[in-house]
């Protein structure tokens, strides 16, 4: 029996310290460090000593050029899920699906497993959170009861692996969730960093060895009480996050890491009575609900992963009653908002310092692109001035600290999507030295400076621009 070793582990980031501390040096979180007892060898330990003293085996080194076979994939039957995976589930790969509790991870995976099973694949769904009856009730509600999915309710990893190894290897396995699983080689409680890490390691190893696609569910919480999936991100091949605002019915599945496809790809779903529905044209959905005449709204032509997505950005600028005005942002980076506000003040002479600013990206989408700068600025200016941006106009472009506008990537794809959805006019940065994007029937207004946008909006808005025809 290996000797037990005491260690203190941050439950938020996984950093280890020999001593307890109130604040983690690794991530700066408070009250996240707790004591864990780890075996010095076993599942979580490194390789046994004996093997490290043995002489190494020669490995074959090959040239970069050579035969490369296309990764085989299996469609999950959910197109949006396949897209995020890079074309389907890869046999032998481990996929982490992270997200807030209650966002719809179990629903999504049960639907995917049912479709896979209906297409003839061997699928196993292990629930550590819900009893068999609960999962059956959900399947009934989703109309999936007839799908031949093998269902299990268990939390003991050893038993689960023994079951999976017995008989033919399944094509796809769902473990829901990693926080409920525990391995008896460790003394610490389920959900602690060492248990999560050990469980993920074992499951990933099983996937690699058996050729089954392993989908692991992981909850993320902000208070750090349950080990976040962050500690296992480097072990798995693909990391997907299921996001969305609780109050909204849109859900976005986003690839943040993918060894078998493009990262940052998104899949869009709608949570409905009968489960998750795929949304094939997210732009139509995100801009479909908008109030056409309101001031403080601008439509941003963005790119998410490999596809263009149009989304409405809403701003409200109002006189503040507080000493320190409020800045509230949903769906965008608050540091980026501060920058745009500072540029509007310093370079364009707008006075926003004593105003409350609220910014919201409609539909619960989270935008990471700096290309949204211009649309954000447009929404802010519109709210501040009361002028509305014509509803047939899209904006995109990055703002630099000097107030000048910089071209962004994939301008033509953005314009094409806007045209497809009936937009007539685009405000974008002037592509200096670059070829002008071809715009079909869209009217382009190319600006060099943020000040030009203010001028454009205040001289009758963008509805009657002296635009250069493309």
Q: If binding is defined by CB under 6 A, does position 151 make contact with ligand TYD?
A: no
Of the listed pieces 97-105, 191-199, 357-365, 458-466, which binds ligand TYD according to CB under 6 A? 97-105
Place of tokens 């899209």: 394
Q: Which is nearer to ligand TYD, 270 or 333 (CB)?
A: 270
Residue among 135, 87, 86, 90 at smallest CA distance from 109: 135
Q: If binding is defined by CB under 6 A, does position 470 make contact with ligand TYD?
A: no
Q: Positive or negative CA dihedral for 361, 364, 369, 371?
A: negative
28 binds, among Mg ion, ligand TYD, none (CB under 5 to 8 A by kind): none
Size of interface with ligand TYD, in residues (CB under 6 A): 15
Q: If binding is defined by CB under 6 A, does position 98 make contact with ligand TYD?
A: no
Q: Which residue is nearest to Mg ion (CB)?
A: 106
Which strand ranges, in their side-by-side order, compose the sheet holding 250-258? Answer: 150-153, 123-127, 172-176, 213-219, 94-99, 238-243, 250-258, 266-272, 275-278
Contacts of 348 (CB under 8 A, 6+ apart): 403, 450, 451, 454
Q: What gap in Å lies between CA 21 and CA 369, rounded to an integer?
A: 37
Q: Which is nearer to ligand TYD, 102 or 460 (CB)?
A: 102
Q: Which is nearer to ligand TYD, 276 or 309 (CB)?
A: 276
282 binds, among Mg ion, ligand TYD, none (CB under 5 to 8 A by kind): none
Q: If binding is defined by CB under 6 A, does position 413 make contact with ligand TYD?
A: no
- The 263-282 site mask, x for binding ligand TYD (CB under 6 A), equals --------x-xxx-------
104 binds, among Mg ion, ligand TYD, none (CB under 5 to 8 A by kind): ligand TYD
Q: If binding is defined by CB under 6 A, does position 101 make contact with ligand TYD?
A: yes
141 binds, among Mg ion, ligand TYD, none (CB under 5 to 8 A by kind): ligand TYD
CB of 235 to ligand TYD, least distance (A): 21
Instruction: Candidates 76, 93, 106, 185: give the one binding ligand TYD (CB under 6 A).
Output: 106
CB of 101 to ligand TYD, least distance (A): 5
Q: Which is nearer to ligand TYD, 99 or 390 (CB)?
A: 99
Q: How many CA atoms lie within 13 A of 52 on its CB side?
A: 4
Query: Taking CB under 5 A as the criterion, which residues in 47-106 touch Mg ion?
Result: 106
Instruction: Candidates 73, 74, 83, 105: give the one binding ligand TYD (CB under 6 A).
Output: 105
The three-point CA angle 255-330-276 to 5° equals 50
Q: What gap in Å lies between CA 307 and CA 362, rounded to an integer?
A: 18
Q: If binding is defined by CB under 5 A, does position 314 make contact with Mg ion?
A: no
Q: What gap in Å lies between CA 231 and CA 235, rounded to an integer?
A: 8
Task: Classify residue 260 as left (phi > 0), alpha (psi -120 to 50) or beta.
Answer: alpha
Query: Taking CB under 6 A as the criterion, which residues in 127-146 touch ligand TYD?
Result: 138, 141-142
Question: Is 255:236 a contact under the CB 8 Å cutoff?
Answer: no
Q: Which is nearer to ligand TYD, 241 or 332 (CB)?
A: 241
Q: Which is nearer to ligand TYD, 73 or 115 (CB)?
A: 115
Query: In 399-421, which positions are buried (b, 16+ CB within 10 angstroms) versus exposed (e)?
Result: bbeebbbbbbebbeebbbbbbeb
Place of tokens 């059956």: 136
Q: If binding is defined by CB under 6 A, does position 244 make contact with ligand TYD?
A: no
Q: Which is nearer to ligand TYD, 249 or 406 (CB)?
A: 249
CB of 167 to Mg ion, least distance (A): 26
- Residues lying near Mg ion in the complex (CB under 5 A) are found at 106
**Can you give the binding site for ligand TYD, defined by CB under 6 A?**
99, 101-107, 138, 141-142, 271, 273-275
């Amino acid at each position: 029996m290996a000797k037990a070793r005491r260690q203190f582990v941050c439950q938020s980031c996984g950093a280890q310290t020999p001593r307890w501390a109130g604040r983690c040096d690794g991530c700066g979180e408070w009250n996240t460090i707790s004591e864990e007892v780890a075996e010095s060898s076993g599942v979580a330990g490194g390789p046994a000593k004996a093997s490290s003293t043995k002489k190494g085996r020669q490995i074959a080194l090959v040239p970069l050029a050579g035969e490369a076979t296309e990764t085989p994939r299996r469609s999950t039957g959910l197109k949006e899920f396949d897209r995020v995976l890079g074309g389907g589930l890869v046999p032998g790969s481990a996929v982490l699906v992270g997200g807030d509790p209650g966002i719809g991870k179990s629903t999504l995976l049960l639907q995917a497993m049912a479709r896979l099973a209906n297409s003839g694949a061997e699928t196993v769904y292990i629930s550590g959170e819900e009893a068999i009856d609960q999962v059956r009730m959900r399947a009934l509600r989703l109309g999936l009861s007839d799908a031949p999915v093998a269902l299990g309710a268990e939390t003991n990893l050893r038993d689960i692996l023994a079951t999976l190894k017995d008989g033919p290897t399944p094509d796809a396995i769902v473990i829901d969730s990693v926080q409920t699983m525990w391995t008896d080689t460790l003394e610490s409680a389920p959900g602690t960093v060492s248990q999560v890490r050990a469980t993920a390691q074992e499951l990933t190893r099983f996937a690699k060895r058996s050729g089954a696609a392993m989908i692991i569910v992981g909850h993320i919480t902000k208070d750090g009480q349950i080990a976040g999936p962050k500690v296992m991100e480097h072990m798995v091949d693909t990391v997907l996050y299921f996001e969305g605002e609780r109050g909204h019915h849109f859900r976005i599945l986003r690839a943040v890491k993918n060894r078998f496809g493009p990262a940052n790809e998104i899949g869009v779903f709608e949570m409905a009575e009968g489960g998750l529905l795929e949304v094939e044209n997210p732009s139509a959905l995100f801009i479909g609900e908008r109030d056409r005449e309101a001031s403080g709204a601008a439509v941003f032509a963005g790119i998410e992963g490999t596809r263009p997505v149009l989304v409405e950005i809403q701003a409200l600028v109002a006189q503040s009653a507080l000493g320190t005005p409020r800045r509230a942002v949903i769906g965008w980076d608050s540091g980026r908002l501060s920058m745009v506000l500072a540029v509007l003040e310093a370079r364009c002479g707008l006075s926003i310092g004593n105003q409350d600013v609220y910014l919201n990206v409609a539909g619960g989408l989270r935008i990471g692109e700096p290309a949204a700068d211009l649309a954000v600025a447009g929404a802010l200016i519109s709210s501040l001035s009361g002028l509305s941006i014509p509803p047939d106009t899209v904006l995109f472009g990055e703002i630099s600290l000097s107030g000048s506008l910089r071209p962004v990537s994939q301008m033509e794809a953005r314009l094409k999507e806007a045209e497809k959805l009936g937009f007539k006019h685009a405000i974008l940065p002037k592509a200096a030295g670059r070829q002008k994007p071809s715009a079909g029937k869209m009217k382009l207004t190319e600006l060099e400076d943020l000040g030009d946008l203010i001028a454009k909006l205040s001289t009758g808005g963008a509805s009657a621009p002296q635009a250069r025809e493309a």
